[in-house]
Each structure stands twice: as C-alpha cells, then as structure tokens.
Homo-oligomer: A and B are copies of this chain.
Amino acid sequence: MAAAETLAARIERGDRTALARMISWAENGDARFAGELAALWPRVGRAWRVGVTGPPGAGKSTLVNELARVERSRERSVGICAVDPSSPFTGGALLGDRIRMDDRTLDPGVFIRSMASRGSHGGLARAAASACDVLDAFGFATILLETVGVGQAEYDVLDAADTVVVVLCPGAGDGIQAMKAGLLEVADVLVVNKSDLPGAERLQSDLTEAVHVRFTKRAWAVPVVAASAGTAQGTEDVLEAIARHRAHVESSGLEAARRRKRIEQVRHSLSEQLSERLWGPAGLRDRVEVELAQGHSPHAIAAALLAEVTMGLSKLSEARR
C-alpha cells in the first residue's frame, strides 16, 4: 500500500480540500502545521499580500469583494483571508459581513476563508500569517487579508501584508478617530470609501494634509484614493495605487521588508506557544493561585517566575557550550 500523500503534496497539485485543512491546522495551532509548511516553504513568497483594514462599517468587505472581482477580470487568482472581530468571551465570528461575498465563492480562481479572533493575541496574527503562507504556496497571485482596525491584535495581523490599505468613510470624526487609533501610521494606501456621501471631499483633503504633514520624511508618499465600493467606482484606482506601492517596495528591498515582518511572526509564534506551555494544563495556574492566597503580590510572583524561567534558559546555554 502506498504511503498517504502529505497535505503539502496535495496542495502542490492544487487540492482545495487540502488547502482548507491546512489553514484549519494553522488556525487550531496543530503541531503538524510547521512540518508541512516547511515542505511548501520554497513556494512561499510569490503572491502579493494586501492587508485591508479600517473601522467597523467603513466598507472593507465590499471593497475586498470589488478588488477580487477586478483581479479576476484580469485573470489573476485571489485568496481571501478575513479576520472577524469577536468577543473575548464567545470567541465566535459574526459572518454577516461575508454574505455579500457569495458571488465570488463559486469561482475556482477565488478561495475565501473567514477566521475568528480567539481572544489569544499572538494566536490571531500567527494564524492569519500562516493562512497567507498557505494561500501563497497554493499559488494565488493576490492575497487579500481583511481585518478590522480596532486594536493591537488586529494591527499585528497586518504584519503579514506587503501593502496595507486603510479604508475610511465619511462620518462624524472618522478622520480624527483613525488618527487616534493609529490607522494612518499603518497605511500604505488610504481609501476614502463611500465617496458619494457628504463629507467625502473634506475627509479626503484632511487625510491628504495629515499624510503630508506626518510622513514628510518617508520615501513612499501614501496616496489617498476615492472609491465607492458599493457602486464599483474607484476599485481600479485602488489596485493601481497598490501596484505602485508594490513597485516601490520591490525597488527598495522587498526581501529585507519581508524579513522584518517574518521576525515579528517568529516572535508572536514563540510567545504564544510558550504561554500555552506555561499556562495550559499542568501549568503554573495552581501554583500562582496558592501564592496569591498566601498574600504575595502578582508582581512579586511574576518576578520570581521570571527569575526561574530565565535561570532555566541560562542553564541551557551553559550546557550547550
């Protein structure tokens, strides 16, 4: 009897079921993932990864759908990974936003995956980056990574993107909120969506000025593009801005830029797995509970644990000398 074909081998020959399963492994932190991805690793790095973020209600999903439509009309295949915000308690993703993507789901040149935020900080970024790696290895030309721009965990997701598109729409204080939340700083391309609404021109001029004032020393001038994804306007302008950003990154050192992001990926991955190891079953919880009951402060307990863990690490480096 022949040995079972590996997931990596199945993905190499375009098996979408294998693709879906491997992304599930990434999402669930399955121990087999690292080995399979290592086998696929030489195939990773060919796709262009576009992060699409912005506040809730800005029209991210609609724009992603539009970007996918135009890419498909150019015969470029598209992988979509959508990270939904979720409660730290329920852990569930609300799939309402995905409904409009239905017209893409029957196209074999498109693969759509929703991913729930699990409350685990590093976990989400790791899972999203891993999903992009798998989509990349599978051979999609463009990867659209959608995440709501509301917090650190969501920003970390953007580490996986080559180009970050920040979507805003006119509305009370939206420009100001975006600046507060740091959305401007992560943007490579700014999109003023719903550009037919009142206030769109004002938002566009405010953003153009803010970008001009803040990022005067940067080599890449962040463009501010008007779009109305609901009526399919401006989508090609957005793609053109992404293409210009891609050319800029490629001419100024794509490998170095990606390597910086991959270092963060290693950092998140290690941190998350270490935390699981320390605090999972048979972990530190019981001991900490006892020490708290004895009247020690959390800070003193953490300091003592850090000393122990660090000593373990230094003993290891001594042993290897």
Contact surface of A with B, Cβ cutoff 8 Å? 33-35, 37-38, 41-42, 44, 56-57, 85-90, 94, 117, 119, 121, 129-130, 133, 150-155, 171-173, 177, 180-182, 184-186, 259, 262-263, 265-267, 269-271, 273-275, 277-279, 284-285, 288-289, 292-293, 295-303, 305-306, 308-317, 319
In the bound complex, residues from chain B placing their C-beta under 8 Å from that of A133 are: 297, 299
15 new A-B contacts, CB < 8 A, other than A57-B177, A267-B284, A312-B316, are A37-B297, A44-B297, A57-B172, A87-B182, A152-B153, A259-B293, A262-B292, A263-B288, A266-B288, A266-B305, A267-B275, A267-B288, A270-B305, A270-B306, A308-B316
Is the CB–CB distance between B154 and A265 below 8 Å? no
Most chain B beta-carbon neighbours within 10 Å: one of A274, A275, A278, A311: A274
Chain B nearest CB from A167 CB (Å) reads: 16
Is the CB–CB distance between A299 and B130 below 8 Å? yes
Is the CB–CB distance between A292 and B313 below 8 Å? no
Tell me the dominant secondary structure on chain A's binding face. Answer: helix
Is the CB–CB distance between B37 and A300 below 8 Å? yes
Is the CB–CB distance between B319 and A186 below 8 Å? no
Q: Could you list 12 examples of A-B contacts with CB < 8 Å?
A: A37-B297, A37-B300, A41-B295, A57-B172, A129-B298, A130-B299, A150-B150, A151-B152, A153-B153, A259-B292, A266-B305, A312-B314
Is the CB–CB distance between B306 and A311 below 8 Å? no
Q: How far is the CA of A126 from the CA of B189 in the complex (A)?
A: 34
In the bound complex, residues from chain B placing their C-beta under 8 Å from that of A153 are: 121, 151-153
Is the CB–CB distance between A37 and B299 below 8 Å? yes
- Of B173, B177, B297, B313, the residue contacting A38 (CB under 8 A) is B297
Is the CB–CB distance between B88 and A185 below 8 Å? yes
Name A177's closest neighbour in chain B (CB-CB). Answer: B56
In the bound complex, residues from chain B placing their C-beta under 8 Å from that of A121 are: 121, 152-153
Q: A285-B263, A309-B313, A311-B316 are in contact. Are A299 and B94 (CB under 8 A)?
A: no
